[in-house]
Structure 1
Amino acid sequence: MMLTAPTYLSVEGAYVDLLRLACESPEHRIEARGNAAREVIGVAFQLPNPRQRLPYIAARKANPVFHFAEALWYLAGRRDLAMIGYYTPSMRSSSPDGVNLGGSAYGHALFNPAAGDTVSPFDRVLELLRTEADSKRGYLPVFSATELTSADNPDMACLAGLHLLVREGHLHMVCNMRANDLDCGLLSDVFSFTMIQEYAAVQLGLRLGHYTHTIGSAHVNECNVERVKRVLNEAELRRTRPQFPFPVMPQATGPDTIRRVLEHEELLRTNTARYSADEIRRLGFEVYWQQVLLLFEVYRQIQHDEADTVSRDVLDALLPNLRWLVGRKWASCAAAAEVSAR
């Protein structure tokens, strides 16, 4: 196979290299809509194993709760702030009406029928790939030219589209971004899009292929440069890095799974329910999805309970990689930081 983009064992390597490129060797210094940034144009990378979608850099404090919430929000085809605004309140400023999001609600464009259709673009593409395995037409556009009609559009899609390609029993994906904030947006985008890729592979009964991420404007905002320098410094100085495999999405995963997980997510988000680790095990989900609900329970305790620490039984039930991340993200989960890398 001829490679046209550098490859990385995990998203972490691509993240660090692109941060270094934009911060230390920018092609341009721009100030679009008042946001000063350092920019490189036309970059790409490839992940042969798209499941390695999380970085383990203490200075970055990646948030696995938000990553899973956003991916599920996309997979459910939603655009409401009620859910996603709970996990990242800053997104509320991008809503034109305070109720829904616009262009950044990628799942709404992918998983809901377009006007005049009864089937979603995602399901149309799966239908195509089931009948024409070598097709080049499996493209899912997200960015719309109509988004340009409003000069003050507060929420224009950064994702141009996702291209699904079946080759030799594998489902590959190429993502086209018109722009990517390398510090704030890249990690969550890659996490969600590779989850969508894996979900599609499960629906088609195919093995997970490689993921290619292409960016038109790859940039780091000047206001975040100091944090980026701390990330780069940690990556430069450490002799070893945590090694955590990411689990495989169960083959039984389908729309009903997403719906059921989100039913419990809403109960936790609204503090209507609270779960112990044992109660989550008894809900009938496979271990993969139990982990997601454990994360949502962690966040429920952080948001709604007055205790200084998250319950140890929930933290101990998390997989080591998720425990490592939450232990560095929140002081109330500090016990998790004691978990050694494997």
Structure 2
Amino acid sequence: MIFNHFHDAYLYTLAEVYHKPQFYNQPRGNRSREVLNYTYGIESPIERICYVPERKTNIIFNFAEALWYLSGSNNLDFIHYYASNMSKYSADGRTLTGTAYGPKLFAYGDKRLNQWERIKEVLREDPDSKRAFLSIFDASEVLQLENIDVSCTIGLQFFIREGQLYMSSYMRANDAYRGMLSDVFSFTFLQELMATELGIEVGKYYHNVASVHIYETDYVQTKTVLSKAKQIGTVPAYPFPPMPLKDNRSDLQVVFEYEQQLRQGTITLKPVDIDRLDIDDYWKQVILLFAVYQSIQQKKVIDHTLYQKLIPLYQMLVQQKWESYFSIIMEEM
């Protein structure tokens, strides 16, 4: 199946796995519904989110996870700040192994291979190449039940076809309700970033999963999302902003610096501070999201001055995710 946006692909997948499961099973004791060998494509990978309000898409975590990968870090403290439940996957309380894709991208194996730069070289040397494969799953990972953090993603493959960058992801397993939401966001974000570094347009994205499943703990939420989706149709309320058509690496470094300082609490930012940054507006919006999140984490409120500077799409997503905080804002206005 080919869909225009991830929104459509996500809802279709939820319905297929929930209503037409191929198997009922309970890996590691967790009851689930499962479909094997599942594939779909997305015409416009930039449209990488679900718009159903009841799904409460966490746009801040989505950007944080993609940037965590791009930072090359496996440190728990980075991603734990945005999703505290990630700590349960860490064996030593400090790092993550299977879940942390960054080291696989930029320092793979004993040779610490920078796969990101290598596949760029492959595609520049031979634009028609079928060798631009980025490995994530490591055969040395412990597969026994003692290890809760095994890489779900086998790898990502890039193709230049008719002047556009196509990408295929290959996953051994994907949680349709939870994991797919953040995985497709991160993978298509990487696809778009690679396209800007190669100076070409973004082509289609293909999602290939050996085992796509929904756990019993998410059955009620799945039914709610599918029910509410019928009321909003398939057209996104606002388009997702495209990444600047340039080499974004210098802007990304600024984002990394400010993300770390906001996360560690060494700075606070006002809208004027972000406006003054010498980076594209696209990346200023990402820093704004992290600044909004700092106010949520530290003060348990939404900083209204920062929130008002977000583009309408991000405002909508933040309000959907942290709906209870906005009653406080309305009382203060």
1:319-334 alignment runs, 5 A limit: 319-331=311-323, 333-334=325-326
Paired residue secondary structure (2:3) = coil
Cα separation, 1, equivalents of 2:171 and 2:110: 24
Which residue of 39, 60, 78 corresponds with 1:65? Answer: 60
CA spacing shift, 1:149–1:236, aligned 2, 3 Å: closer
CA-to-aligned-CA distance 1:124-157 (integer Å, 9 cap, x gap): 1111110011000011111112114554212000
1:62–1:325 contact (8 Å) kept in structure 2 = yes
* Structure 2 residue 79 is matched with structure 1 residue 87: no
Paired residue secondary structure (1:135) = coil
1:327–1:336 contact (8 Å) kept in structure 2 = no
Deviation at 1:336, TM superposition (A): 12
Cα separation, 1, equivalents of 2:5 and 2:95: 33
Deviation at 1:335, TM superposition (A): 7.3
1:270-309 alignment runs, 5 A limit: 270-306=264-300, 309=301
Percent identical across equivalent pairs? 38
1:41–1:215 contact (8 Å) kept in structure 2 = yes
With normalisation by structure 1, the TM-score equals 0.92
Paired residue secondary structure (1:327) = helix
* Structure 2 residue 322 is matched with structure 1 residue 318: no
Cα separation, 2, equivalents of 1:330 and 1:195: 24
Cα separation, 2, equivalents of 1:126 and 1:8: 27
Write the letter of the residue equivalent to 1:107: G
2:212 is matched with 218
CA RMSD, Structure 1 to Structure 2 (Å): 1.9
Report runs of 4+ in structure 1 exceeding 6 Å deviation.
335-338
Write the letter of the residue equivalent to 1:38: R
1:172 is matched with 166
Deviation at 1:101, TM superposition (A): 0.4
What 5-or-longer segments of structure 2 have no aligned partner?
Answer: none
Which sits farther off after the overlay, 210-219 or 237-246? Answer: 237-246
Paired residue secondary structure (1:162) = strand
Cα separation, 2, equivalents of 1:216 and 1:171: 24
Which residue of 100, 103, 116 corresponds with 1:108? Answer: 103
Paired residue secondary structure (1:40) = strand
With normalisation by structure 2, the TM-score equals 0.94
Paired residue secondary structure (2:171) = strand
Cα separation, 1, equivalents of 2:250 and 2:38: 37
Deviation at 1:237, TM superposition (A): 3.3
CA spacing shift, 1:299–1:52, aligned 2, 3 Å: same
Deviation at 1:280, TM superposition (A): 0.7
What 5-or-longer segments of structure 1 have no aligned partner?
Answer: 1-5
2:46 is matched with 51
Number of equivalent positions: 330
Cα separation, 1, equivalents of 2:234 and 2:204: 26
Paired residue secondary structure (1:146) = coil
Cα separation, 1, equivalents of 2:102 and 2:291: 24
CA spacing shift, 1:200–1:112, aligned 2, 3 Å: same
* Structure 2 residue 225 is matched with structure 1 residue 231: yes
